[in-house]
Amino acid sequence: MIRIPKNELQRVIAGIFRALGIPPDEAEDSAEILVAADARGIPSHGVARINRYAEGIKAGLIKGGVNPTLLWETPISRVLDAEGGMGLSLSRQSMNRVIVMAREHGVGVCCIRNSNHFGIAGYYTEMAARQDMIGIAMTNTAALGVPTFAREAMFGTNPIAFAAPGLGKDMFSLDMATTIVTRGAVEICEREGTRIPQGWAVGKNGRATDDPVSLLDDMLYLRGGGLLPLGGEGAAFGGYKGYGLAVMVDILTALCSGGTFGREVRDSAITSARVCHFFMALRIDLFRKPEEFKRDMSRMLGELAALKPAEGARRVYYAGLKGRETDEESNALGVPLPEGVWETIKTTAGELDVPVQVTQTAHPA
């Protein structure tokens, strides 16, 4: 592992996007959101995806400079067709618009179809939380998740994010897939040459698998098998609950926008599928005074963090705490990256004549 200053890493990634023809403002937004994932300790959604973006842009599946089509609008809601635009920058713009609607009317909602990968969902919910609002964000993805008792994928990792502010830096920030893990976690196993932990996924026969290579290939071509929903295999540990949440995300993102869902959402070997998003902001003063809400939120988070840890555990976290602390460490020491990921970025940048001079340091042992 190595560390690279956040601003320098963003400069390189933005340079790659610009060299691929993405307008400067969209390139900057996209780089910032991808780097934010690595800085928070979520490498599955970070800069390691740059090649899939590059190939998608070259293939015309991801487009820069697109003005999305407005399909439906009320004072508190919008539905957009992204027309294949950059999911990262469009999502940031859309959450900003949702916040404006909520500021004026108390609530704002936006559904988007025909978009692309949008990074970490928590990035957008935290935008609302910093404005004394509750933020909600979701996206569907390519069909990777296997319903309870099935052997074929029918829904994506379909993440749900929710953020609410406390006092100062305090924030509850939940960002979770509705499958046990994301495909990115399996890709990390493949890159590192390790097996998949038992309980993450099933193979073509619907039974547990630990082979990341065959699983990724089978999921890509919908041969059967895939990731398990939250709760795991069968019904004993509530796998049907994760399955239900995943379908709920498809309803809010795809059915509400008139977009694609289920097995119709398919990745290719080189790039990611066109997907659908959902964003929502609720003004806290619809319910009570924001300062009183934030005071109680900080109290709740403090009580959670103060709980006695289980034997063998170091401490108790609440959603968002570990990511915030990791981000603060990344700001101070640089963003951690596997050397192999950085070498891939340098190769891609070199092919596009993008300068890659950065201040590189070793990751602390």
**Is 80 in contact with 70 (CB distance < 8 Å)?**
yes
The pLDDT assigned to 364 comes to 61
Kindly report each contact of residues 316-320 with a partner whose C-beta sits within 8 Å and lies 24 or more positions away, as own/partner. 318/172, 319/172, 319/173, 319/174, 319/175, 320/122, 320/163, 320/171, 320/172, 320/173, 320/174, 320/175
Angle between helices 50-58 and 339-351 (to 10 degrees): 30
- Which tokens is 77 given? 């809601």
Which domains, from first to last, does the chain contain? Answer: 1-58+341-365 (1.10.1530.10), 65-179+237-333 (3.30.1370.60), 181-227 (3.30.60.50)
pLDDT, one tens digit per residue, over 211-236 is 999 999 999 888 999 999 999 999 99
**pLDDT over 60 (residue 365):** no
Q: Are strands 77-81 and 107-115 parallel, antiparallel or unpaired?
A: parallel
**Max Cα separation, the chain?**
55
The pLDDT assigned to 183 comes to 85
The pLDDT assigned to 18 comes to 98
- Could you give the residue ranges of the DSSP H alpha helices within the chain? 6-19, 24-39, 50-58, 87-105, 122-129, 183-192, 212-220, 239-250, 290-305, 321-333, 339-351
Query: Whole-model pTM?
Result: 0.94
